[in-house]
Amino acid sequence: MSVQTQPRTCLAVVLAAGEGTRMRSERPKVLHEIAGRAMLAHVMDALAGAGADAAAAVVGPQREDVAETARAAWPTAEIYVQAERRGTAHATLAARAALARGFDDVLIAFADTPLVAPATFAALRAALAEGAAIAVLGFEARDPTGYGRLLIGADGGLAGVREHKDATAAEREIRLCNAGIMALAGDSALALLESVKPANAQNEFYLTDVVELARAHGLKAVYRTAPESEVMGVNDRVQLAAAERIAQARLREAAMRAGATLVAPETVFLSHDTRLGRDVTVEPHVVFGPRVTVGDGVTIRAFSHLEGAEVAAGVSIGPFARLRPGARLEEGARIGNFVEIKASAIGRGAKVNHLSYIGDASVGAGSNIGAGVVTCNYDGFDKFRTEIGAGAFVGTNSSLVAPVRIGEGAYVGTGAVVTQDVSADALALARARQIEKPGWAKEFRARKAAAKAARTKG
């Protein structure tokens, strides 16, 4: 008979108090986005993926915006304030109340290191389960300047971490560097953190000092490694762009491996939550904003932009189309070039093929919306809806002034300005009757020319 062991509990502490002055921004650094999502939210999502049970976010004073983002990413997250900045151990101890609860594992992460994978955090937890008191994440740096160095003991374990400013010349030759992220065994975490002293050139409480403190107490310290690209921190907009490139490469690869064709992958930009079905074809220069779901067999042609849209199977979009939040395209719909859809449902097999704006509307199955059709949905104060029934035909260059309803099977004549409901199967004409005045143009030109000549002489 096997014995069931209880899963290890885990607290994730996310350090998010930095202002990020090098960003040259009014927005806190950790709220800058990668793939359409704040860096802080990326980190919290990865920690959840590593099995963390609870989260504590350490924010700066009066940074409710950071706290709100943390709660949005993890609704039960506890928020702690680091009133003064005195180093990473000092920041971690701001969450002392959470640390004191006695979790088996404590993961400490940085909100400006957004690319760390859940599996990497899980590897640090696994080291604790194997008996380590501390597991530090390291990487082989191409240029180690400025990074703390991991010092390896004779037993192969981690003997310490030396910050660059405090390192000897020999230690600065080491290329195995500290990524900043670590895991602590919960039963010793708080005591180790409270033992840290500011005995360094910066007069700060270094989180990395817990390694030597643990070794001094006979506790085991180890390290695990990750690629340098995964653990890169973001301190300015150049590094933000570099992180975006890495995130986009991951998202593109995942989409293609899941069955989507990206004709020119390097030109397609995805959001963190983009969902593409099988046999989707995405042509060059397509941008996906947040909250886009695309069904199987969809074709998205070049230079289209989608955000907050739900696209069913077999739909064709673009080129140069824009789907704004609330756009919902049902199976087999056709959205053509220079068409914008906002907060509207386009029915099964309906066509909006060119140069049209459909906003706050519903278009019934099988309807045809001609070129240049506009739903006039806004009066400067309020939005109004347009309803177009199944099988309706709206002629070129028509304006539908909402609120208005076009019945099933109805026809709207070209160039109409529709201000009243149209009955099912009816024809609506709303334009002036054409008249012709012989010779009018010739007389008009002569009159204008004579007036111009008189002004010139004067």
Catalytic residues: 354
3-state secondary structure the chain: CCCCCCCCCEEEEEEECCCCHHHCCCCCHHHCEECCEEHHHHHHHHHHHCCCCEEEEEECCCCHHHHHHHHHHCCCCEEEECCCCCCHHHHHHCCHHHHCCCCCEEEEEECCCCCCCHHHHHHHHHHHHCCCCEEEEEEECCCCCCCCEEEECCCCCEEEEECHHHCCCCHHHCCEEEEEEEEEEHHHHHHHHHHCCCCCCCCCCCHHHHHHHHHHCCCCEEEEECCCCCCCCCCCHHHHHHHHHHHHHHHHHHHHHCCCEECCHHHCECCCCCEECCCCEECCCCEECCCCEECCCCEECCCCEECCCEECCCCEECCCCEECCCCEECCCCEEEECCEEECCEECCCCEEEECCEEECEEECCCCEECCCCEEECECCCCECCEEECCCCEECCCCEEECCEEECCCCEECCCCEECCCECCCCEECCCCCCCCCCCHHHHHHHHHHHHHHHHHHC
Burial of 241 (0-12, 13-18, 19+ CB in 10 A): exposed
- For residue 327, which of 303, 296, 304 has the smallest C-alpha distance? 304
- Scored b (16 or more CB within 10 A) or e, 26-62 reads eebbbbbbbbbbbbbbbbbbbbbebbbebbbbbbbee
Given the structure tokens 């000549």, which residue do they identify?
A: 453
**Cα 114 from Cα 235, distance rounded (Å):** 11
Write the single-letter amino acid at 454: A
Amino acid at 336: G
Q: Show the tokens assigned to 312.
A: 């069913």
